[in-house]
Amino acid sequence: MGTNPARTHPARTHPVRTSRDSGTTERPVPLWAERVARLLPLVALPVCLWRLPIGFGHQMGMDVAPETWPRWQLVAYVLTLSLLTEAFALLCRGLVRPWGETVPHWVPKAGGKRIPPFLVIVPAALSGLLFTALLVDWALCTFHIGGFSDAPYTHPGWQVLASVVSGLFALWGPMVLALTYAYWRRRQLPITAR
């Protein structure tokens, strides 16, 4: 009796390391994609925290005129923007989770139905491209390329801190595009082709 090489060497059947807690996705989620999805909210957190003092009138070292909005509007705007940023980062987890492939069962009428891949891929790719444009803008302004510049700062330390915080946030675009690519790869073939 011969042995099945696929059984003795599981790496030959699944060359990509996969996450153990990827749930019941149609196909295994690559471990790198799971890690990127977990990093997204953490990459966004510094810029969310950076914004909060601005809502309360602190300029965070920027040498610009203070906002003329009423304080309550500025605080509401900054809090809403920060909450939406983190919500979007958490929503990107759907690119590696079962609820990004199948409508959750608690949703009336549509629960349990398979989500067509393009309904996820198109908005994710567009968002990734939009945030990649922010990365380009960040690079142009931070390194003063082609006459671009960022806000003036009262001290170089503030400028370095702002560049690091916004630079982390600017990584969002490529991260979302990488997750979208992994999602597309997992869902491009019919389920019967597994």
Q: Is 14 a residue whose pLDDT tops 70?
A: no
Q: What percent of the chain has pLDDT over 90?
A: 62
Query: What is the per-residue pLDDT across 78-100, written as a single tens digit (0 to 9) for each?
Result: 999 999 999 999 999 999 999 99
What's residue 91's pLDDT? 94
CB 100 within 8 A of CB 152: no
Largest CA distance in the chain: 82
pLDDT band at 191, cuts 50/70/90? low
What's residue 190's pLDDT? 60
Question: In a 3-state reduction of DSSP, which class is residue 18?
Answer: strand
Give mean pLDDT, residues 72-76: 92
Backbone dihedral region for residue 155 (phi beyond 0: left; psi -120 to 50: alpha; all else: beta): beta
Give mean pLDDT, residues 120-138: 95
> DSSP code of 116?
P
How far is residue 188's CA from residue 182's CA, in Å, rounded to a whole number? 10
Residue scoring higher pLDDT (139 or 17): 139
Q: Is 3 a residue whose pLDDT tops 80?
A: no
